[in-house]
């Protein structure tokens, strides 16, 4: 099965305007219809070929049975869907984005035709095949004018196509073909076909063949970003998703020479076929030049100095190309294809090309003249101004050409034209920083040149701002000072000023250019302000702040310590001596507020915070509104938590390894009390071995860190006067406060291999290997019934000998 792709054809005729070189009538669809063209539509269910042609449109008849005057012909059996249509209005293809009527390297086509659509059919076979795809074709019978075979008679077509990948074998993919025939044979070198090749890794009629995407891309195809409008085939009877399997190829020109067939008839047929199964579409645009007088180079014949220029000729299938350009020019691309890019110089000359294959040997030459490019020159006058009333002059020097206009921008991205063609521009009353450029041209051939931008920076007007607080009071001898903060200003602080009367202002010395100023030590009421300046704008002063002088003495006190560190749970002593003041308070409250009857007044307060805290002593002196605030920082070190381990039992002679742990990162000092039977009471992990005289010992272990902070933990050891053994109770009462867990009590046992409990049916209800664990009387969360249960236990004593026991117990509820 084979799906065909639509192709756009473009014919070039030789440059001679003689009758013998004239192109066939309406070969370029200039009449806006299909007159003089033969057309057909059909279905390729039985394969591509003559049998696929079903509906014929003769070139001698008018529509609807012929092509005379016909602008549109429908798809086979789809009367409302155009299958062949003449395009006279420019737009863009929805899948490829290329124009429906092309302009190729300066040559603009006025018309094209569209062969095909996105319509598909689906069959009823097991694989969704058998319906056959749509077939559309147009054909022109060309009477080649008589004349010498050495005089070219060329035709050039341009094609652009859109193909849906059917994932069939290559011969069954959608296809576009152009066929040039004499009455007895096909002219192969002028009869290409275009399709999406696959690796043919499925059987004929099957789907899922892998696309040879590398070959497709080499042939100029690319994947569209638009999904197919047709849902993919679902063998289960539903519909699949809309895949992104549409490939497109933009406009490409192809030429061929018919001079070898002078005085004879040849036919040109262009066909677009969907895949043979029918489920994937193909369509193509074709445009034809109405010039048949030989090869014609496309490109500018008048170029500017030192400009990159592209020249091209329509491609010839399997051809070789030989380009010749002026000797001083530089090739920017390879010169072995139908398109070259060169860089011009001040010297013009001839650009010529020869393209040759088994069907044609064509040449053409174009004479190129060069022009000097415009030079934008230098734009001077960058400056800075203050917003509002301002004026700046910009001058363009050393330019070559004609000034077209000026440009302005406030963001260097969007530029607005200024209709001024002089070399001097005056920018006035700007409120925003603005960039300016000048566009200089020289005729319509060379692209204009644009100057480097000049910048007029606009500084906003200076705003002095306000000072916070606007009013304050300082008492005699006040050393803490009042901090003044400048807010709401525009610009930068040049200096702070002060005045005793608000008339005569003096600068601070040394200069203070910050936003804050600390006032202290004044002996009279004083006002303060700032001098601000923004860029080139005039300076401005802030609103003044008034500091009133109060002759009453400011409170005085000394405190110790300024900062202190304590262990968790221990007190810190805060000492103070008040020399000037009449009352004090603590924040947060430590003691009740106190009045001071005489000075100096000394006191000590103790605090025991649970975490690092601040304590502020606030002292007032009657007549002065400002308090003295002194802060004590008390850092509380983390609590030292000591774990001495779980209470345990041993037998006489069994070594017991004790191990204490501290929450402190250490290193810590450890001490154990009492030291009875311990190998070393001053380490974290002493070993104890007990005699028959020992019964029950409770140890307390203390850990002390480097800061002197300590914590304690304890462990109780019970000493049995027996051999190593495992004791198991004979009953337990789950759910009660005591005796709620059934567990073995190992004595002198170093490890437990198993402890198992079975019900009367022999079902295992509990199992553990961990010493200390036990059964809570449930199975999988379900409480078990009262009654008798069997247990088994095995352990290894501290000498390595096994201890195995079993028995019964009673669960009581």
How is residue 764 written in tokens? 């295992």
CA dihedral for 719, 725, 726, 731, sign (positive or negative): negative
Q: What is the pLDDT of residue 318?
A: 79
Mapped onto helix, strand or coil, the DSSP state of residue 190 is helix
This prediction's pTM: 0.49
The torsion region of residue 32 among left (phi > 0), alpha (psi -120 to 50) and beta comes to left
Q: What is the pLDDT of residue 234?
A: 62
CA dihedral for 344, 347, 348, 352, sign (positive or negative): negative
DSSP output for 42-91: EE-TT-SSGGGEEEEEEEEEETTTEEET-SEEEETTEEEEEEEEEE-S--
**C-beta of residue 261 within 8 angstroms of C-beta of residue 144:** yes
Q: What is the pLDDT of residue 127?
A: 40
Query: 510 burial class (0-12, 13-18, 19+ CB within 10 angstroms)?
Result: exposed
pLDDT tens profile 245-286: 999 999 988 888 999 899 999 999 999 999 998 989 999 999
Phi, psi of 51 (to 5 degrees): -70, -15
**C-beta of residue 33 within 8 angstroms of C-beta of residue 69:** yes
Q: What is the pLDDT of residue 737?
A: 85
Q: Work out the angle at residue 124's Cα, subtended by the Cα atoms of residues 123 and 127, and round it to the nearest 5 degrees.
A: 85
> How many residues can be counted in the chain?
813
Q: Work out the angle at residue 317's Cα, subtended by the Cα atoms of residues 314 and 319, and round it to the nearest 5 degrees.
A: 85
Query: What does the radius of gyration of the chain's CA atoms come to, in whole angstroms?
Result: 51
The torsion region of residue 279 among left (phi > 0), alpha (psi -120 to 50) and beta comes to alpha
Q: What is the pLDDT of residue 125?
A: 38
How is residue 329 written in tokens? 């020019």
Q: Spell out where 647-768 has E strands.
A: 648-651, 655-657, 661-662, 669-673, 687-689, 696-704, 710-720, 725-727, 731-732, 745-747, 749-758, 764-768
Q: What is the pLDDT of residue 122?
A: 80
Q: What is the pLDDT of residue 20?
A: 58
- Residue 172 DSSP one-character state: G
CA dihedral for 581, 583, 585, 590, sign (positive or negative): positive
Residues of the chain with pLDDT under 70: 1-20, 123-130, 234-240
Query: 277 burial class (0-12, 13-18, 19+ CB within 10 angstroms)?
Result: buried
Q: % helix / strand / coil in the chain, to the nearest 5?
A: 5, 50, 50
Bridge partner list, 293: 14
Element (H, E) at 392: strand 391-397
Q: Work out the angle at residue 639's Cα, subtended by the Cα atoms of residues 633 and 644, and round it to the nearest 5 degrees.
A: 165
Residue keyed to tokens 């400009």:
307
- Residue 511 DSSP one-character state: -
């Amino acid at each position: 099965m084979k799906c065909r792709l639509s192709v756009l054809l473009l014919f070039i005729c030789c440059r001679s305007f003689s009758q013998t070189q004239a192109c066939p009538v309406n070969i370029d669809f200039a009449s806006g219809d299909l007159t003089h063209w033969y057309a057909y539509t059909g279905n390729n269910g039985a394969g591509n070929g003559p049998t696929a042609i079903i509906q014929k449109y003769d070139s001698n008849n008018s529509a609807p049975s012929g092509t005379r005057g016909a602008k549109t012909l429908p798809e086979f059996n789809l009367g409302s869907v155009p299958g062949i249509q003449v395009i006279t209005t420019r737009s863009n293809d929805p899948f490829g984005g290329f124009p429906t009527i092309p302009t190729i390297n300066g040559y603009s086509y006025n018309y094209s035709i569209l062969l095909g659509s996105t319509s598909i059919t689906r069959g009823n076979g097991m694989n969704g095949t058998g319906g056959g795809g749509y077939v559309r074709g147009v054909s022109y019978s060309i009477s080649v004018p008589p004349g010498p075979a050495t005089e070219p008679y060329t035709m050039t077509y341009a094609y652009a196509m859109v193909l849906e990948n059917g994932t069939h074998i290559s011969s069954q993919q959608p296809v576009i073909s152009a066929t040039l025939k004499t009455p007895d044979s096909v002219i192969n070198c002028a009869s290409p076909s275009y399709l999406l090749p696959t690796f043919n890794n499925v059987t004929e009629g099957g789907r899922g063949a892998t696309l040879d995407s590398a070959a497709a891309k080499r042939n100029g195809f690319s994947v569209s970003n638009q999904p197919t409008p047709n849902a993919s085939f679902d063998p289960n009877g539903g519909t699949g998703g809309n895949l992104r399997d549409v490939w497109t190829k933009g406009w490409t020109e192809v030429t061929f020479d018919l001079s070898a067939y002078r005085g004879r008839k040849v036919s040109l047929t262009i066909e677009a076929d969907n895949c043979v199964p029918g489920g994937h579409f193909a369509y193509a645009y074709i445009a034809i030049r109405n010039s048949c007088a030989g090869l014609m180079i496309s490109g500018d014949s008048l170029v500017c100095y030192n400009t990159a220029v592209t020249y091209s000729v329509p491609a010839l299938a399997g051809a070789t190309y030989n380009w010749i350009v002026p000797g001083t020019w530089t090739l920017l691309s390879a010169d072995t294809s139908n398109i070259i890019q060169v860089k011009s110089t001040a010297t013009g000359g001839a650009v010529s090309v020869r393209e040759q294959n088994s069907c044609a040997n064509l040449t053409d030459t174009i004479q190129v003249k060069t022009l000097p490019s415009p030079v934008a020159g230098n734009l001077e006058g960058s400056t800075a101004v203050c917003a509002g009333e301002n004026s700046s002059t910009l001058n363009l020097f050393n330019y070559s050409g004609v000034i077209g206009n000026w440009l302005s921008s406030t963001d260097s991205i969007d530029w607005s034209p200024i209709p001024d063609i002089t070399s001097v521009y005056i920018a006035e009353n700007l409120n925003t920083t603005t960039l300016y450029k000048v566009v200089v041209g020289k005729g319509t051939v060379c692209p204009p040149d644009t100057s480097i931008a000049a910048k007029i920076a606009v500084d906003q007007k200076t705003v002095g701002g306000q000072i916070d607080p606007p009013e304050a009071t300082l008492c005699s001898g006040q050393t803490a000072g009042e901090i003044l903060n400048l807010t709401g200003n525009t610009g930068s602080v040049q200096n702070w000023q002060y005045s005793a009367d608000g008339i005569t202002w003096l600068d601070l010395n040394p200069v203070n250019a910050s936003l804050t100023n600390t006032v202290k030590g004044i002996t009279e009421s004083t006002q303060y302000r700032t001098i601000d300046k923004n860029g080139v704008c005039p300076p401005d002063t802030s609103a003044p702040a008034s500091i009133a002088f109060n002759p009453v003495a400011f409170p005085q006190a000394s405190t110790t310590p300024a900062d202190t560190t304590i262990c968790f749970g221990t007190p810190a002593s805060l000492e103070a001596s008040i020399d000037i003041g009449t009352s004090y308070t603590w924040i947060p409250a430590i003691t009740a507020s106190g009045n001071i009857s005489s000075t100096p007044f000394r006191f000590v307060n103790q605090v025991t915070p649970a975490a690092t805290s601040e304590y502020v002593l606030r002292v007032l002196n009657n007549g002065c509104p400002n308090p003295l605030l002194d802060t004590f920082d008390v850092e509380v070190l983390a609590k030292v938590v000591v774990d001495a381990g779980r209470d345990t039992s041993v037998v006489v002679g069994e070594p017991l390894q004790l191990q204490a742990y501290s929450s402190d990162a250490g290193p810590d000092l450890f001490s154990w009390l009492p030291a009875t039977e311990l190998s070393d009471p001053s380490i974290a992990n002493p070993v104890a071995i007990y005699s028959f005289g020992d019964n029950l010992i409770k140890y307390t272990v203390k850990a002390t860190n480097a800061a002197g902070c300590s914590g304690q933990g304890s462990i109780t050891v019970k000493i049995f006067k027996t051999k190593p053994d495992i004791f198991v109770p004979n009953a337990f009462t789950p759910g009660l406060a005591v005796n709620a867990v059934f567990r073995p009590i190992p004595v002198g046992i170093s490890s437990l291999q198993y402890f198992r409990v079975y019900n009367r049916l022999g079902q295992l209800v509990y199992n553990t290997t961990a010493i200390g664990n036990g059964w809570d009387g449930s199975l999988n969360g379900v409480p078990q019934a009262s009654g008798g249960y069997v247990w088994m236990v095995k352990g290894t004593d501290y000498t390595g000998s096994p201890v195995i026991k079993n028995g019964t117990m009673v669960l009581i509820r």
